[in-house]
Amino acid sequence: MDYRLLFLCAAGFLGALVDSIAGGGGLVTIPAYLLAGVPPHFTLGTNKFAATMGSFISTAGYAKSSKVNFRLMRIAVPMTALGAILGVRAVLKIPQDFLYPFVSVAILVVGLYTFFKKDLGKVNSFTTITKKKIFFVSVVGFALGFYDGFFGPGTGSFLIFIFIRFLKFDFTNASGNAKLINFTSNFTSLITFAFAGKIDYLLGVPIAFFMILGSLVGTKLAIKNGPKFIKPIFLIMSFVVFGKLLYEMFL
C-alpha cells in the first residue's frame, strides 16, 4: 500500500474543504507534498492540477445555489486569466522576496478588520450591477490574478474581503464569487505548468478525486450554514497565512 499517496489524498481532501469555504487550502496541501518528498516544481504543478479540479467543483456548487453573479464577473474572468499569465511570466524573472513584508501586513490588516467589524459580511447588501462595479471587479480580477500567478498566499482571503467590504456581499456570496476568480487564475496557471511538464499525473489524478470530494463537502457546509459558519474559518485562515508568511520571512 502506498502510504504516501494516502497521506496526500487525505491532505488534499482537507485542503479542498477549507479552501472551498474561506480559501487557504494550499497551506495544507503544499507542505504535505514537500513532506512526502515531491520535488518543489512538481509540488506546485501537481497541486495546481488537483486544486483546479476541486476549485471547479466548488465554483459549480456555489453557482448552482445562485451565489455567483456571472453578469458582474463577465469581464473579470478574462482579465483574471490575463493577470495570471503575466504573473507566471513575471515570477520567472523577478524574485518574490520583497513581497513578504507587504503581503504580511496586508493579510494581518484584513484579519483584524474582519475580527473587530462584528457585522461585516453578515447581510448581503449587494444591489444593482453598474459599469463602475463591473470595472472595479475587472481591475480586482486582473490584479489578484497577477498576484496569484506571481506569489499566491492569501489570494482567496483578499478576494473575499474585497467583495464584502466594497461590494457589500455577505460571506457566502463573497466566497462564491471569489471562488470563480480563484478557479480562473488556478486554471490559467495549470496550463503553464502542464506545458512545462511539471505535473505528476500518477499522484495528481487520485489526489484530485479527493479534492473534489473535499470541495463538495466544504461548499455544501458553507451554503447551508452561511456567514456565521464562514467568518470564523476565514479569520483562522487569514491569521494562519500571516503566520506562514512571517515564518518564511524570518526563518
pLDDT in tens, 120-130: 999 999 989 99
The CA distance from 92 to 224, in Å, is: 41
pLDDT digits (tens, 9 = 90+) for 83-120: 998 987 787 677 777 778 888 888 999 999 999 998 89
- Mean residue pLDDT of the chain comes to 91
In the predicted structure, residue 137 carries a pLDDT above the cut 90: yes
> What pLDDT score does 89 carry?
79
DSSP for 46-87, please give it: HHHHHHHHHHHHHHHHHHHTT---HHHHTTHHHHHHHHHHHH
Q: What is the DSSP letter of 244?
A: H
The pLDDT tens digits for 170-194 are 999 999 999 999 999 999 988 988 8
Q: CA 16 → CA 12, 217, 227, distances in Å?
A: 6, 9, 19
More confident residue, 201 or 151: 201
Answer yes or no: is pLDDT of 217 > 80.
yes
The pLDDT of residue 102 is 83
Supply φ then ψ for residue 248, to 5 degrees.
-70, -25
Look at residue 160 and tell me whether its pLDDT is greater than 60.
Answer: yes
Helix runs in 125-226, H state only: 131-150, 155-167, 171-195, 201-225
- Summarize the confidence of residues 138-162 as an average pLDDT: 90
The amino acid occupying position 234 is F
Long-range contacts of 223-230 (CB under 8 A, 24+ apart): 223/61, 223/62, 223/65, 223/67, 223/172, 226/170, 226/171, 226/172, 227/121, 227/122, 227/170, 227/171, 227/172, 228/122, 229/21, 230/21, 230/22, 230/121, 230/171, 230/172, 230/175
Residue corresponding to grid cell 472551498: 20
- Which pLDDT value is given to residue 145? 93
Amino acid 14: pLDDT: 96
Q: Which DSSP state fits 123?
A: S
Top-ranked range on mean pLDDT: pick from 27-36, 40-49, 70-79, 95-104: 70-79
**Percent of the chain topping pLDDT 90:** 67
Q: Which amino acid is at 137?
A: V
In the DSSP assignment, the letter for residue 94 is: S
Output Rg (C-alpha) for the chain, integer angstroms.
17
Rounded to whole angstroms, what are the CA distances from 158 to 72, 108, 110, 114, 174? 18, 11, 7, 11, 11
Residue 204: band (very low, low, confident or very high) from pLDDT cuts 50, 70, 90: very high
Res 1: pLDDT: 52
Read off the pTM.
Answer: 0.89
